[in-house]
Amino acid sequence: MRANHARVPFHSLRAALFATTAVTLAACAHVVSGGQLPGSGILVAILALTGLACTAATRLRLGFPAATALLGAGQVVLHEAFTAFGGIVPGAPAGGPHLHGTAALPGGTLVHLPAHELESPVALLMLAGHALATLACALLLAKGEDALWALAAWLRPLIQLPTPVTPDAGAATKPVCWPADSAPLPWRNLRPDSRRGPPAAVVLP
């Protein structure tokens, strides 16, 4: 759900959490499966690009399915980037079970994994472990999303600035005027003419 005409709560924090989680998962899977990470400069560039993508995605409130799809797609893209700019660890067996990132998408689709590697129990175990780790991280991020959005809804009335109130154009106020019998005279301390003599209620004997 998108907040209309309002700032997205904790936008930078949420984008950083998603980007860091995606890059960390992909890097760990790439190293454990026998790959070699690229240089630090390339890693920083990959993290920055991932952060840009997550910044655009976190403009919306992400639930568990959306978080899983975002992390799953990110694992595939990041693995391809690590493979292109990194390499294989020297001394690793050429035919070893190199796990291709999260080649398992949330729907259970396997991509970029040759058939002979699927026959290896180690490759299947690593692939299943990476898929479970992705789902677990997506669940934690979705719970964090719910908590941050709830916190923002609780804090918004406390920090909301007062808005100026504009009077209704149709409700014009009438000018206040003095009654005719009590209008102030232009001279100071001048009383209006009054009737002289005894009060009318007094009865003379």
The structure's pTM equals 0.60
**Looking at 4-8, 75-79, 116-120, 130-134, which range is the least confident one?**
116-120
- For residues 127-140, give the mean pLDDT: 92
Q: What is the pLDDT of residues 68-93, one digit of tens each?
A: 999 999 999 999 999 888 765 554 44
Domain count, the chain: 1
Q: Mean pLDDT, the chain, as a whole number? A: 75
Instruction: Give the pair of three-digit tokens for residue 51.
Output: 């952060």
Does residue 202 form part of some domain? no
Question: Residue 204 domain-assigned?
Answer: no
Kindly state whether residue 78 falls inside one of the protein's structural domains: yes
- pLDDT tens for 142-187 read 999 999 999 988 888 777 656 666 766 655 666 666 666 665 656 5
Residue 180 domain flag? no
* Domain hosting residue 35, numbered range: 11-159
Residue 166 belongs to some domain of the structure: no
Residue 107 within a domain:
yes
Do the domain assignments include residue 205? no
Q: Please give the share of the chain, as a percent, with pLDDT higher than 70.
A: 59
Question: Domain for residue 198, yes or no?
Answer: no
